[in-house]
Amino acid sequence: MRRRRAAVAAGFCASFLLGSVLNVLFAPGSEPPRPGQSPGPSPDPGPGRRGGRGELARQIRARYEEVQRYSRGGPGPGAGRPERRRLMDLAPGGPGLQRPRPPRARPLPDGAPGWPPAPGPGSPDPGSSGPGPRLGCAALRNVSGAQYVGSGYTKAVYRVRLPGGVAVALKAVDFSGHDLGSCVREFGARRGCYRLAAHKLLKEMVLLERLRHPNVLQLYGYCYQDSEDIPDTLTTITELGAPVEMIQLLQTSWEDRFRICLSLGRLLHHLAHSPLGSVTLLDFRPRQFVLVDGELKVTDLDDARVEETPCTGSADCTLEFPARNFTLPCSAQGWCKAMNEKRNLYNAYRFFFTYLLPHSAPPSLRPLLDGIVNATGELTWGVDETLAQLEKVLHLYRSGQYLHNSTEAGRAEYQHLPGSTIPQEDYRCWPSYHHGSCLLSVFNLAEAVDICESHAQCQAFVVTNQTTWTGWSHVVPDASKTAYVRASG
């Protein structure tokens, strides 16, 4: 049986000039450029005021080595011995990539390394699409509809449409952001500070490639472009998603909210068993995720960490959160046991599960959903058991086994009117797929009748041939709509 939608009826982003935006994309600020304002970076302010260039070089090298470690570690996609050459030179003459240019001297702090290599195309994880040709600078020459989306601590994000009509997201270091600004104030070395910040973007690019999964944002490519006094500014090209707005999500149907929680459970399971090891998201907030066709995907990975916490005893294994703390065991190998996955799981509980899972769920599923919320809130389960329970809920809901056997006694009779609808006779209900009316999903006709019986305002309902994401594909209604009108008396 496929789930269908039944209508229960009663009786800040502005477009701006493309040329200016592309200039900003390679040297971005946190605000779109104003007319007549140069979007490029200001000149390097010169010698550091405090801290010294040696400390800046040490920080750059530490981030460089981290990216190298993720780029070559484990047996997953992109594994292999890295080559020490520029990202854009990895595939000379390849689709969408620029020809290699002669190397140029670039003033960097003493001891600072150059760019590490890009991740290799590798093999996609099961269920994900193949990597295909990587997009490069050539793909950005004729984009349209450029819009500033927003910025965070390090990066700015823009939305553009490629010549083929596909909308993508572009990320670049935010020249007006806190990360770059605080570094320049401390060291006074704009180019070196840009390189330090850009390594976070590069780390994210490597992890997006290595952690390929349906709930990880797709990396389409990258581009290096000189921008005034900063050579080789980096822009990444990724899948475009919609920001996660919790207030809006609370007003959506339970089915869609459950889909987000299921997506998150599948993501956390993947991160706990990734090719790199168990990955934790140190910055775990709704703004680090986006929605793509109803699926939740992680987009911000520059603060992800793979290494587990070393310990000599359980006292070293305390997970601290604003509301409470947890103490985990220290393994015989000297690592806090499952600390990465438990951090992810509790954050999923406090930011997503507790708000989205139980409310307005089918009554028969509430005990299962309450169990998931309680177990993740107490960290009595790991990600494996959590995902198993979420998949169980999906099976019960998709198969219709969650429905109680209702009796015919006391039910009104409904007149069957094939090929008809009831326009302009509707009322609002919550939750609904449409805020101006009462549009719900049902498993079968019996459930539609039960819903109509439970709503005092309902005098009729209309069954459409629309299906939701949980619908089966082998049953197709003969007519697009069928009306059922409650008989008088």
Q: Which residues are catalytic?
A: 283
- Quick one: tokens of 135? 């997009």
Please confirm whether the linkage preceding 124 is cis (ω < 30° from 0): no
Per this entry, what is the length of the chain? 489
List the one residue out of 180, 135, 223 whose CA is nearest residue 44: 180
**What is the distance between the alpha carbons of residues 305 and 207, in angstroms, rounded to a whole number?**
10
Element containing residue 195 per DSSP (H, E): helix 190-210
Instruction: Tell the residue number behind the tokens 């050459």, with chain if given.
Output: 85
**CA-derived radius of gyration, the chain:** 26
- Beta bridge partners, 220, equal none
SS3 of 339, please? helix
Question: Could you report how far apart the first and last alpha carbons of the chain are, in Å?
Answer: 32
Instruction: Tell the residue number behind the tokens 């493309």, with chain if given.
Output: 18
**What is the distance between the alpha carbons of residues 351 and 374, in angstroms, rounded to a whole number?**
14
Torsional sign, CA 234, 217, 371, 245: positive
**What is the distance between the alpha carbons of residues 119 and 370, in angstroms, rounded to a whole number?**
41
**What is the distance between the alpha carbons of residues 21 and 37, in angstroms, rounded to a whole number?**
12
SS3 content of the chain, % helix, strand, coil (to 5): 30, 20, 45
> Order of strands, edge to edge, in the sheet holding 4-9?
414-418, 481-486, 460-467, 4-9, 439-442
Strand residue runs (E) in 345-429: 414-418
C-beta separation of 25 from 172 below 8 A: yes
The helix-helix angle for 339-348 and 366-378 (nearest 10°) equals: 130
SS3 of 321, please? coil
- Quick one: tokens of 297? 């995907």
Q: Which residues contact 183 (CB under 8 A, 6 or more apart)?
A: 56, 189, 193, 196, 197
**What is the distance between the alpha carbons of residues 453 and 459, in angstroms, rounded to a whole number?**
9
